[in-house]
Chains A and B, each alone.
Chain A
Amino acid sequence: MVQERSMMDDVWRRFRKNKGAVIGLTFIVLVILVAILAPVLSPHDPLKQDILSRLEPPSSEYLLGTDELGRDVLSRLLYGARLSLAVGMSALGLGVVVGVTLGLISGYRGGTIDNVIMRIMDILMAFPGVLLAILIVALLGSGITNLVLAIGFWLVPVFARLVRGTVLALREREFIQAATAMGARDGRILIRHVLINSLSPIIVYATLSIPSAILSAAALSFLGIGLRPTDPEWGAMVSAGRPYLREAPHLVLVPGFAIFLTSLSFNFVGDALRDALDPKLKA
């Protein structure tokens, strides 16, 4: 326990040195706070339309202007933090849980099970991602859950392969062999030893996958797939605002930069985490 604590300290110390990452982390915390406090911070109801005052430029009443249905862009932006983070994180959660489980089993068991799981992952990888998302949404309808499912499925093979690779490398290591020799059960070995030891690549990759999940959600909204039109998700806001780019550029720029800054922050944090967690870089 003491040793783990000092390792975490070590990682934090190295992470802290990276200024970009610290700024990124601060921004992420800010976005999370905004997401939690959206109802308190929002000056207006994000769904309340007023078609008589649509496409208004920023003013003291509407700090970031109004959108194509006269809704307050600032309020939608704040609520959008909720949806965008929720989409990113849940899709990631799905990808990690399913992918890591499959990867662990596949790598640890080997043989036929490994072969079957990996071929299924190959199929998922070879299947065009857009198509997969469209089919899921076509089958299950629009809405945040189905969007998360669609993007989560993209991530499953990525994590499965990543974890399998790590497990394969670990399997031959002494401490696992020792645990097996001592008669520990598979499940226990998998969780106590294998999973703990492959955590750092998972964490790094997970951090880097959040922005790609958010960007995928945006791309799907562009193609008209996924959320309901009223949902103030950032990607959906960008694509709904794009037809008005000439007369109301703020409709695209505001959520567009929100996506950009959030993704950038996660990428900075992810990169710094990788450096900080990499034992080879310790020296």
Chain B
Amino acid sequence: MTGKRRVAAAGFLIAFLVVGCSSNGQQANTPPAPSPETPKQEAPKEPKRGGTLRVALSANPRNIDPRLQWDSTSQMAVVNIIDRLFTVGADFNYRPLLAESWSGAADGMSYTFHLRKGATFHDGSPVTAEAIKQNILWAADESHASPQVTMWDALDSVETPDESTVVIKLKTPVSEPTFMSHMLDSPWPISGKQITENGDNAISNPIGAGPFKFVSYTGDDQIVMERNDQYWGGAPLLDKIVYRVIPDAATRRVEMEAGTIDVLMDVAAKDVESYKAKGLTVITGPAPTSGMISLNLATPALQELAVRQAISYAIDRQAIANKIFFGYVTMATTYIHPENVNYAKDIPGYSYDLAKAKKLLDDAGWKVGANGVREKDGKRLELAIGSRNHDTWNLMSQVIQEQLKAIGIETRIDTTDTTAFYNSVRAGTYDIAYWSLNSSGWHDLDHPNLRSTDWGNIAHLAKSNPEIQAIQTDIDGIIDGFNSSLDAKVRAKYAYDLQKIVNENVITVPLWFEDRLYVMQPYVMDVEAPTVVRTIRFDKTWLNK
């Protein structure tokens, strides 16, 4: 591949996209529900300078040091301070930021980035190849306990042939889509000078090369940043951005309606219609956030294919999508997003069919017994639903409980706090669980509970069941084949096989993909809706008031 500027690295993705873009760059991917028009603007005005943008975050950022974050809240909070090497636009195209161009070696063993000349970090130091190298090496250093360390598992070395060229060498071949999506996992780099000065210590004042400069961070309260007049892309229009941490959903709703915040990052689908009715701008777009029901194959009853299939048929996806998520989801028949290039659309999914579900259970010997609960060999068909303290989890667990009751499966909901829930999912101490997972990228096949070495689940716990072990061996082989293959066609074939095997054997129950939702005051102009990444950049944003 040439070193020529190559923007459309993910060009093949566009073919699958049918998205309209409104004049100010906001994506108008309208869900099924009829929605009132976004307030009409007068003739397009000249962008105005000045003003403070107030953005609400729904949780305290776990970490203000970009090298130590993984949660979306932290990333949202720093993304306007930290310019990445490149980003992805709402149109799914890669867009250069600090790197002007990049290319991957044909064997997938190295990737080369050519840095933009003249870009500087907020401390005045230039964005050099050496600084990029320092960032990678710091995150890859195990002693720093960075959650991003796995991103660099395949790292062999970083070379800097000149001031503005970075060559990342890998130990094993990594295909370009996978590599690129991993590079987008979290915002980086920070100033090399800052890394040198702080050594192994975490930092609390990230110095990046982004459009805004860090001013202050008060834990559980707010993060303030100001315009970077030296920004390589030209000074942004806003004077300041204040991210406020507002943990309570009811309070966020009032703040938004009262106009005391301008942008809401974490929007409940149920609120969207009333926000629209009040004239607020709603931005939505597809996202790789998959909703599913995880099945623990170590549970004896769930080792029966018929039971897993029955569960798949018993869930009324469309009704839940319409009534609980108000249509702000993308329905899927497999566990891969329909707009992902790897999605196999002709593999049949499971649709709502109570009669079929009941028949499957009847045929498998699960007969309806006392209180309408099915029994076989004296055992009742009882399952524990693992759940956590979260509005969506609470709702979904209850809905799943009700819908499984209709086919004679009795469930008990075990609600715990998030950590205990993660722990039980990883340890396999639950039977089924609703699960909504923000996948790291669009290109990966990876899924937290498919591979036998995975933490998430499942099949590896069913050691004694040869049938499941055989499926597991197949899955492992396919994922390995997919990951080590650099040919898009070969990868697509592996992807197809995997979705087929997962669907036919109901390894997991895919439901839908939640769309991204952001709400803004009508005077907030020129915000590009992110879809692939979870963060919003406000480098072009201005306030029309």
Contact = CB atoms under 8 A, between A and B. Distances in A.
B416 A51 contact: no
B401 interface: yes
B270 A244 contact: yes
Nearest to B419: A138
Interface in A121-139: 134, 137-138
Contact of B274 (A48, A141, A247): A247
A224 interface: yes
A54 B402 CA distance: 14
A52 B323 contact: yes
Interface residues of B, number: 30
Contacts of A280: none
Contact of A243 (B249, B399, B412): B249
B519 to A, nearest CB: 14
Interface string B295-335: 00000000000000000000000011001100000000000
Interface stretch (A28-36, A192-200, A225-233, A268-276): A225-233
Contacts of A134: 417
A255 to B, nearest CB: 15
Interface in B415-457: 415-417, 420
B33 interface: no
Interface string B261-274: 00000001011001
B400 to A, nearest CB: 11
Contacts of A240: 394
Contacts of A282: none
B512 to A, nearest CB: 15
Interface in B367-421: 387, 389-391, 394-395, 397-399, 401-402, 412-417, 420
Main secondary structure of the interface of A (DSSP, over half): loop
A113 interface: no
B398 A142 contact: no
B250 interface: yes
B417 A230 contact: no
A148 B268 CA distance: 32
Contacts, number: 65
Contacts of B116: none
B428 to A, nearest CB: 16
Interface string A242-278: 1111110000000000000000000000000000000
B320 A138 contact: no
Given A51-B324, A52-B323, A228-B415, A246 B274 contact: yes
Contact of B414 (A69, A141, A242, A243): A141
B6 interface: no
B402 A49 contact: yes
B253 interface: yes
B398 A230 contact: yes
A49 B395 contact: no
Contact of B319 (A52, A224, A246): A52
19 contacts: A49-B402, A52-B319, A54-B323, A69-B398, A138-B416, A142-B414, A224-B417, A225-B389, A225-B417, A229-B387, A229-B397, A229-B413, A229-B415, A230-B398, A243-B253, A243-B270, A245-B253, A246-B274, A247-B274
Interface of B: 249-250, 253, 257, 268, 270-271, 274, 319-320, 323-324, 387, 389-391, 394-395, 397-399, 401-402, 412-417, 420
